[in-house]
Chains A and B, each alone.
Chain A
C-alpha cells in the first residue's frame, strides 16, 4: 500500500544534542509537511516543501530545519533540542494543486532527557 513512513517511531535525545527525524513516502506526492503536535493540541505546521520549494512558517524557531533530497524523502533536523521540543512530530504529504487531502504518517514521539 502506498503510504507515509516515519522513522523512528520513538526517539530519545539529550538536551542540546542534534537529532534528525525522517519521513518517506511512496505516494509520489508533490508536497511534504512537518508538524509538531503537543499533548491534547492540534498539529502545528512547522514548514512544507512544494516540490523543491521550501516554505517556512513565520513562527517556526530557527532551531528547526528541514531537507528534502528527493521526492520520496524529507528530514526534520532539530539543531539543539530543548525540553520544550518534546512532542509528537508528524509528517504528511499531498498532491498539491488545491483541495487535496493530506496523508499522515504515524509520527515520531521525541523525548528530551
Chain B
C-alpha cells in the first residue's frame, strides 16, 4: 500500500515569485509519481510525471519536479508564478508492479497567487 503526504494545505505567494509545493510518499514497492492540477469546477489535468530516468522532470505551464528516492519526495516547483496558476495541486503515486494505473492521491495543496 502507498500513501502520499502534502504537508501544505495552502500556499499563498505573490505573482512572479518562485514556489515549491511539497510531496512525500510512502510505499513498500517502487512507484510512479504524478502531479495534477485542478482549476475550479474542472477535472484534474496532468502537469508532469516521473516514470524512470532523469530525476528532474519538466511539465506543462513552466512547472518542474524532482524525484528524490532517498527522501521519498517529489516536490513541484515553478520559478515565477502567474495569477492563472491559482488552483489546487495534487500529488499522486501508482504502483510499478501493478498492471493497472490506480492512483493514490495526496490531500492537495491550494496555491493562491496574489497580485
Contact = CB atoms under 8 A, between A and B. Distances in A.
Interface of A: 4, 6, 31, 33, 40-43, 45, 48, 50, 55, 90, 92, 94-107, 109
A41 B43 contact: no
A105 to B, nearest CB: 5
Contacts, number: 72
Contacts of B45: 104
Nearest to B107: A42
Contact of A97 (B34, B43, B99): B99
Contacts of A92: 43-44
A102 B103 CA distance: 8
Nearest to A10: B41
B43 A4 contact: yes
Chain B interface helix/strand/loop/mixed: loop
Contacts of A33: 102
B115 interface: no
5 contacts: A43-B44, A96-B101, A98-B100, A102-B103, A104-B43
A21 to B, nearest CB: 13
Contacts of A94: 101
A33 B110 CA distance: 24
Contacts of B108: 40-42
A111 B94 CA distance: 31
Nearest to A9: B41
